[in-house]
Amino acid sequence: MQTITNDDVDVVIVGLGWAGSIMAIELAKEGLKVRALERGPDRPPEDFAYPKPADQYAYAIKNKVFATPRDAALTVRYNTGETALPTRKWGAFAPGTGVGGSGLHWTGVLIRPTTTDLKLKTYADQAYKRGTLDPDMRIKDFPFTWEEIEPHFDKFDKICGLSGTTGNLGGQLQPGGDPFEGPRSSPYPLPALHDTLNSSLFAATAKKMGYHPFPNPSANVSQAWTNPYGAQLAPCNYCGYCSKYPCLNYSKASPQTAILDVVKRMPNFDYKVNANVIRVDLHADKKTAKGVTYIDEQQREVFQPAKIVILSSFQFANVRLMLLSGIGQPYNPLTEQGTIGRNYAFLSNGDATLFFKDKHFNPFATAGATGEMFNDISPGNFDGPSLGFIGGAKIHSSQATGAPIGTALPPGTPGWGKGWKEGMVDWYGRSMKIGITTTCMSYRGHYLDLDPNYKDPWGQPLLRMTFDWRQNELKLQRHLRDIVLGIAKELKPDAMSENFLGLDSHWDITKYVSTHNVGGAIMGTSPRDSALNRYLQSWDVHNVFVPGGNAFPQNFQANPTATIGAITLFAAEAIKNQYLKNPGPLVRV
């Protein structure tokens, strides 16, 4: 079959989610000819006009706007040497697809890591005695300072209409916000979302106990907002269909609401959907890419020539494309040679569900990011070293949805029959959760590579993930459990159930955690142990940039989107101001 060749472009962007959309608008504004290739379908906002998204079965059970495992599965194993098995159904994580990617349907918690989180290796070396931590841990510092990255966090906050309470403005602590946050140059653009009953109960108790709760920083905006690109967002109406759903109200910051209507007006930008990129094509010397090859809607192979290639197709797919295309050396955990696939990390969660037979929580009246949290248990802000682990967690009471399928019922309620039915009548709307979202370190033996046994519908090997919980994360969970149960006890629920990892827990891929998979193509200061430099530029192929969660050397407790937005903006600046004038490696070692 003949390969079709498209017209030449300056920049080809693989994957039109958050990272791809940021790159698209920043580079198109510079006058470059930009084309985005999106594997999935188009997702125009009118497809999600009120009240269509108010449909739990379609969006949250059948995962209507997600990738399917049929097309996008990975394989998973706990250790090297085992046979990895496919993720035949989604469980612990569920990647998106289509224009907007997961940015279309994310929960909308937009929160920065702390200054310590960005320099975790430095912190670990200072705070922990030699030999205390697992020798297989491979923590690294992010390769930029807070001062360098902060303006980009700030810009992304404004792109998203971040709504919340400022904690640290230019070094001055502000009441009601997070006292542990790094200094901001601007206050939050918009005020916080309103508390629901659960979060106000939680915050009051947490405060009494000496913690410092603040409203979940939210990209579901609290008021009408016009962002720096001129795009408009509408005030959230607490519709209760947020996490996993496209927003029916223009209230959730997404590529659609925040960027795409603006960039689509530019004649030098276009995009193709149902275009599955199967590899990046390199020149013979493998030092630069000449473009990408994709399979189009009619199943034809098409070559898209380009001068710059942006891989922004989500952490998994970015790493997989690098492996399939021969960009950099695949990582070998035994020799620790190679950089593509190393430092893969995930995160864990856990919670206690508190039941109150007489309270009305009205869980359906909520936004995705509704809730209160505290960061007191974050690295550097509590005595982790004496407890024998490194890491921490957001501790929060959130209420992301109140849709009824999957309602938690008190322990002892039968799973079916009259008991279940009456349990639903008695207990729907009578419970709240106190939860944790933890850090996750990276380890020598946790990595990504290509699976030898299983393939995707296009005949290419699936990505293989080798990962499990380690004692560090499990000890962390036990500690957090004590804190959560302590708060729960103060609230005196009528019944309670809990869900935390035990010291002998394996990673259970059937239970949803979050799609905050990170690492695999990390940024660093050296090509010896990282895939990308501080500008997300491949050390090996200098016209390939890889923005995404793949760049994180380990996972912090903050949701990753804010950081992904910031590092992408940082990289876009470097492309505009440095790379275009002088194409080549931007960082010399």
With binding defined as CB under 8 A, does residue 429 bind other proteins?
Answer: yes
Nearer to other proteins, 297 or 422 (CB): 422
Residue 506 or 528: which CB sits closer to other proteins? Answer: 506
For residues 314 and 14, is the Cβ–Cβ distance under 8 A?
Answer: no
Q: How far is the CB of 388 from other proteins (least distance, A)?
A: 26
Contact assessment for residue 124 and residue 569, using Cβ atoms and an 8 Å cutoff: no
Return the structure tokens found at 247. Answer: 């927003």
Residue among 186, 180, 146, 187 at smallest CA distance from 164: 187
E-state strands within 63-149: 75-77, 85-86
Q: Which is nearer to other proteins, 131 or 417 (CB)?
A: 417
* Interaction of residue 583 with other proteins, rule CB under 8 A: yes
| Cβ neighbours, 10 Å, residue 252 | 32
What is the closest distance, in whole angstroms, from the C-beta atom of residue 374 to other proteins in the complex? Answer: 20
Tell me the window of 273-281, 375-383, 422-430, 492-500 that interacts with other proteins (CB under 8 A). Answer: 422-430
460 lies in the site for other proteins, by CB under 8 A: no
Six-digit token string for 421: 């039915």
Q: What's the rounded Cα separation, in Å, for the pair 418 and 425?
A: 11
Burial class (CB in 10 A: 0-12, 13-18, 19+), 295: middle
578 binds other proteins (CB under 8 A): no
Query: Residue 258 carries which side chain, given as an amino acid letter?
Result: A
Contacts of 351 (CB under 8 A, 6+ apart): 433, 434, 435, 436, 484, 498, 499, 500
- Our finding on whether 303 is near other proteins (CB under 8 A) is no
Question: Rounded to the nearest whole angstrom, what is the least distance from the CB of residue 316 to other proteins in the complex?
Answer: 14
- Of 146 and 245, the one with the shorter C-beta distance to other proteins is 245
Residue of the chain from 295, 324, 365, 587 that contacts other proteins (CB under 8 A): 365
> Which lies closer to other proteins via its Cβ, residue 75 or residue 174?
75
CB of 563 to other proteins, least distance (A): 26
The length of the chain is: 589
Tell me if 366 contacts other proteins by CB under 8 A.
yes
Q: Is 516 considered catalytic here?
A: yes
307 near other proteins (CB under 8 A): yes
Task: Please identify, using beta-carbon distances, which residue of 74 and 124 lies nearer to other proteins.
Answer: 74
Task: Kindly state the DSSP code that residue 549 receives in the 8-state scheme.
Answer: G
Q: Across 84-161, where does the E strand assignment appear?
A: 85-86
Q: Which of residues 487-506 bind other proteins (CB under 8 A)?
A: 506
The catalytically annotated residue of 396, 479, 516, 542 is: 516
Q: Which of residues 209-268 bind other proteins (CB under 8 A)?
A: 223-224, 226, 229-235, 237-241, 248-250, 257, 261-262, 264-265, 267-268
State the minimum distance, in angstroms, from the CB of residue 161 to other proteins. Answer: 12
Looking at the Cβ atoms of 162 and 501, the one nearer to other proteins is 501
Nearer to other proteins (CB atom), residue 185 or residue 226: 226
Q: Which of residues 79-118 bind other proteins (CB under 8 A)?
A: 83, 85-89, 91
Classified as helix, coil or strand, 574 is: helix
Report phi then psi at 404, rounded to 5: -80, -25
Nearest distance, CB of residue 117 and other proteins, angstroms: 29
Residue 415 sits in the site that holds other proteins (CB under 8 A): yes
Long-range contacts of range 378-384, CB-CB < 8 Å, 24 or more positions apart? 378/114, 378/116, 378/117, 378/180, 378/557, 379/114, 379/116, 379/117, 379/120, 379/123, 379/439, 379/556, 380/114, 380/116, 380/123, 380/127, 381/114, 381/116, 381/180, 384/127
Sequence letter at residue 165? T
- Binding residues for other proteins restricted to 136-195, rule: CB under 8 A: 194
| Per-residue tokens: 521 | 């193509």
291-299, 380-388, 426-434, 565-573 -> range binding other proteins (CB under 8 A): 426-434
* Greatest alpha-carbon span in the chain: 72
Q: Closest Cα to residue 159, out of 236, 84, 252?
A: 252
Instruction: By CB under 8 A, name the one of 161, 164, 328, 402 that touches other proteins.
Output: 402
Span 12-71, contacts to other proteins by CB under 8 A: 31-33, 45-46, 49-57, 61-63, 68-70
508-547: which residues touch other proteins (CB under 8 A)? 508-510, 543
Size of the site for other proteins (CB under 8 A): 99
73 binds other proteins (CB under 8 A): yes
Q: Catalytic site residues? A: 516
